[in-house]
């Protein structure tokens, strides 16, 4: 019990607790993505293997079975004769894509941005007053000393007020 009290009241624990995210834990989502990244390629490989495991041996134009000679490194110049199989098929991709499209069409998916975000707030920049470009350039040039304070290039009293309040 003393060790637990020491652990809970330790300086490191007091520093770590405020860093915990509140209510928005992403560990489940990260776990899901980890599983998808790990097993999705394996699943596709398994689907491909299952579809092509029973391929027939290819035949040539004379309807003779075809073979090829390969030279594996471990044979050090020796050869191995292997059967040439028919080309692999990828029908599972078409079937998988069809299933995804079918399941997508069963759900009601919004077709436009207005349907997705009917009451989306405006971007924050819309709350600000946008100055005239020439005015903003003059303010910037005056601020960095490229326009002298007695210059006639100053635009208005508002401009001088902006300069005075910005310092």
What pLDDT is stored for residue 110 in this prediction? 53
Q: pLDDT tens-digit profile of 21-61?
A: 555 667 777 877 887 888 888 888 888 898 988 899 999 99
**Would you list the DSSP string of 20-82?**
S-SS---HHHHHHHHHHHHHHHHHHHHHHHHHHTTPPBPB-TTS-B-EEEE--GGGTT--EEE
Tokens of 103: 């399941």
> What's the Cα-to-Cα distance from 8 to each of 2, 13, 22, 105, rounded to whole Å?
10, 6, 19, 52
Which residues on neighbouring strands pair with residue 75, listed in sequence order?
A: none
> What's the Cα-to-Cα distance from 6 to each of 10, 19, 20, 142, 154, rounded to whole Å?
6, 20, 20, 60, 66
- For residues 67 and 80, the answer to whether their CB atoms sit within 8 Å is no
Record the pTM. Answer: 0.42
Domain boundaries, the chain: 31-105, 130-167
Q: pLDDT tens-digit profile of 58-96?
A: 999 999 899 999 998 888 888 989 999 999 999 988 988
């Amino acid at each position: 019990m003393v060790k637990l009290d020491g652990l809970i009241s330790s300086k490191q624990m007091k520093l770590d607790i405020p860093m915990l995210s509140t209510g928005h834990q992403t560990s489940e989502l990260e776990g899901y993505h980890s599983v998808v990244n790990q097993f999705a390629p394996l699943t596709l490989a398994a689907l491909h293997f299952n579809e092509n495991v029973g391929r027939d041996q290819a035949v040539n134009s004379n309807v003779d079975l075809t073979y090829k000679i390969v030279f594996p490194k471990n044979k050090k110049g020796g050869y191995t004769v292997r059967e040439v199989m028919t080309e692999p098929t990828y029908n599972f991709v078409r079937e998988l894509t069809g299933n995804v499209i079918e399941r997508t069409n069963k759900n009601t998916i919004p077709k436009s941005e207005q349907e997705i975000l009917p009451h989306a707030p405006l971007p924050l920049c819309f709350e600000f007053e946008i100055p005239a470009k020439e005015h903003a350039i003059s303010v910037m040039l005056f601020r960095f000393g490229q326009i002298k304070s007695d210059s006639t290039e100053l635009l208005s009293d508002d401009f001088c007020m902006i300069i005075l309040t910005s310092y």
